[in-house]
Structure 1
Amino acid sequence: MARPSPVARALSQNFLADRAAARQLARLAVPFTSKVPLMLEVGAGKGALTEHLAPRCRELRAYEIDRRLLPALRARFTETSHVTVIGGDFLTSQPPRTPFSVAGNVPFSRTADIVDWCLRAPGLTDATLMTQLEYARKRTGDYGSWTLLTVRTWPRYEWRLVGRVARTRFWPVPRVDAGVVRIERRRTPLVEPASYAWWGELVEAGFSGVGGSLHASLRRVCPRRRVDAAFGAAGLERGVLVGAVTPGEWLRLFDVLG
């Protein structure tokens, strides 16, 4: 097998080389029998995932930044009228105004930016992204700890690890395995919109590390007696590390502190 090109390395390209893995990713992205009205695919590459997403969507917009791949990609789907191949950087695109989904085997080096784009898009309903396994596990609490981004967005989005893919299923073969993370917008937020800014401020303060513990960090923004009462309601010890506090426990803290 040929060595990966310098362009592939520069763009952090690891193409899905296994049809079964591509088919499974499409099933995870569209887990229902009805078709998705609008799907955006991040990094269509040679169309391995596009092929399996197309039958599950009424409209599919496949973004590919590597212009060398565009002629073959467009030729492959020229007879599929509801698939539009778009040459360019997905991150510079404007989110659709109507509800939409996102799926893709994303470049590992650009995962954080792509996730941020998705979370800022008002119309996003869900995103199913193949990322480094470590990233997927970390964001979904699979290591037994929780990150600032996950907790801060939890009232509006559910994060789940829904699959794992061996690194040997890609070409070029990356150094690590991949995971599939699914981010779903909640139909009913867990925190009232009017209180969401305070939720974010509270979580940011808790993850600041000031004072050496979550209890001490929260005392910077709330009276000690209220923090004590919140910890009691959540069943937390005062010395608990912030990463060990689950989103559900954060919500119980917020019930008292909010």
Structure 2
Amino acid sequence: MNSPTPDALLGPAEVRELAGALGVRPTKQRGQNFVIDANTVRRIVRTAGVREDDVVVEVGPGLGSLTLALLEAADRVVAVEIDDVLAGALPATVTARMPARADRFALVHSDAMQVTELPGPGPTALVANLPYNVAVPVLLHMLDTFPTIERTLVMVQAEVADRLAADPGSKVYGVPSVKANWYAEVKRAGSIGRNVFWPAPNVDSGLVALTRRAEPVATTASRREVFAVVDAAFAQRRKTLRAALAGWAGSPVAAEAALVAAGVSPQARGESLTVEEFARIAENRDAGNAAENKEPVQP
């Protein structure tokens, strides 16, 4: 690992000074809360297990607090920033504070949800303090768009972290839990206090670690088909799957037939199912169609 440069990282005074020079005020609209503690960003990098040969993509780098810590440890860092002022300033901040590593840094000025390619080699890791208002869709988009991402560590609102890492049967298990598990093994990786941010958020933060599945979910259904079942199941989470999936399948009768063919109880609810079970339901939609058309269902 590259030797840390004590004066390179941003502390509270440096963050506020840089923000003041740029005329930047963090906005709720973009979920901006800047990390002002160097120990916290180094802890994030350690928890992420960033290696010397990693190509790390960071979403929402802001003023560069985490970016600089990532550059200490990784081979390359690509930051995706939507804000015009922040995107314009970050390369100069990197050059000024870590000149020996500046050629290892690249900036993509874009909405992360619109990014489909990145400069240089494919990213091997995603490490980010994600804007809380778009954290889940951004995470899922990046995992889907860049299959080379093997390891992910994101800081999100604590409640969202709990949902992402929840197991079937948990009260907070839902759409984010299932969809994240489609791509990766997911676990909680720690908590972050409010006082390390400027401005301090009104919610607690949590770290979530995701390790790409060694083998994808074994199914003949596409990701889109499986996710359609997941969305339908949790749209009416108090209902049984027979009722919740009626719209997806065409009728309650068709939903029941698809569920039975998938080996899932029609009386079950979405929060009890694994991603593999959702995939089996998606595979058996034709069984539901056959029942709807009053044709015999093939075993």
TM over 0.5: yes
User: Is residue 131 of structure 1 aligned with residue 156 of structure 2?
Assistant: yes
C-alpha contact (below 8 Å) 2:161/2:207 kept by paired residues: yes
**Contact 1:229 / 1:256 at 8 angstroms: preserved in 2?**
no
Q: Does 1:95 align with 2:117?
A: yes
* C-alpha spacing 1:208/1:106, structure 2 compared with 1 (3 Å): closer
CA displacement at 1:165 relative to structure 2:
0.3
Matched residue SS, 2:69: helix
Over the matched positions of the two proteins, sequence identity in percent amounts to 21
Which residues in structure 2 correspond to 1:116-195 (within 5 Å)?
Answer: 116-123=140-147, 124-141=149-166, 144-192=171-219, 194-195=220-221
Segments of structure 1 that go 5 or more residues without pairing to the other structure are none
CA RMSD of the aligned region, Å? 3.5
User: 2:240·2:269 contact (CA, 8 Å) conserved in 1?
Assistant: yes
Quote the offset at 1:173 in angstroms. Answer: 0.8
Q: Is the 8 A contact 1:22 1:48 kept in 2?
A: yes
1:53 alignment partner in structure 2: 70
Q: Deviations over 1:153-199 (max 9, x none)?
A: 5333333221210111111111111111223321201223x323543
For the residues of structure 2 that align with 1:16 and 1:216, how far apart are their CA atoms?
A: 45
70 and 215 in structure 1: CA distance in 2 versus 1, 3 angstrom threshold: same
SS of residue matched to 1:127: strand
Q: Does 1:24 align with 2:54?
A: no
Residue pair 2:180, 2:186 contacting (<8 A) in 1 also? no
Q: Which amino acid aligns with 1:156?
A: Y
Point out the structure with max Rg over C-alpha.
2
Aligned mates of 2:162, 2:151 — CA distance in 1: 18
Is the 1:39–1:60 Cα contact (8 Å) retained in structure 2?
A: yes
Cα distance change on mapping 1:80 and 1:145 into 2, 3 Å: same
Question: How far apart, CA to CA, are the structure 1 residues paired with 2:67 and 2:201?
Answer: 21
Identify the range of structure 1 (13-22 vs 82-91) with the bigger mean alpha-carbon deviation.
82-91
Deviation of 1:22 (Å): 1.1
Which residue in 1 is equivalent to 2:25? 7
Deviation at 1:82, TM superposition (A): 4.9
Q: Using CA pairs under 8 Å that are at least 6 residues apart, name the structure with larger relative contact order, 1 or 2.
A: 1
* Partner residue, 1:196: 222
Kindly tell me: are residues 227 and 45 of structure 1, through their superposed partners in 2, closer, same or farther at Cα, counting changes over 3 Å?
closer
Tell whether 2:244 aligns with 1:217: yes
Is the contact made by 2:61 and 2:80 (CA closer than 8 Å) also made in structure 1?
yes
| d(CA) in 2 for partners of 1:174, 1:213 | 37
Farther-moved stretch of structure 1 (164-173 vs 149-158): 149-158
Distance of aligned partners of 1:215 and 1:54 in 2 relative to their CA distance in 1, 3 Å threshold = same
Give the match's secondary structure for 1:207: helix
- Check whether the contact 2:175–2:230 (CA below 8 A) recurs between aligned residues: yes
How much does 1:228 deviate? 4.7
- CA–CA distance in 2 between the matches of 1:229 and 1:257? 6
Give me the whole-angstrom Cα distance separating, in 2, the residues matched to 1:106 and 1:210: 27
Q: Is the 8 A contact 1:46 1:73 kept in 2?
A: no
Change (3 A) 1:254 1:28: farther
Cα distance, 1:229 vs. partner?
7.0
Which of 135, 160, 172 lines up with 1:111 in the alignment? 135
- Structure 2 gaps of 5+ residues are 1-12, 286-299
Q: For residues 161 and 78 of structure 1, do their structure 2 counterparts lie closer, same or farther at Cα, with a shift above 3 Å needed? A: same
Residue matched to 1:78: 99
The count of residues paired between Structure 1 and Structure 2 equals 250
State how far apart, in whole Å, the 2-side matches of 1:102 and 1:218 are: 34
Aligned AA (1:139): L
User: In 1, distance between residues paired with 2:64 and 2:242?
Assistant: 50
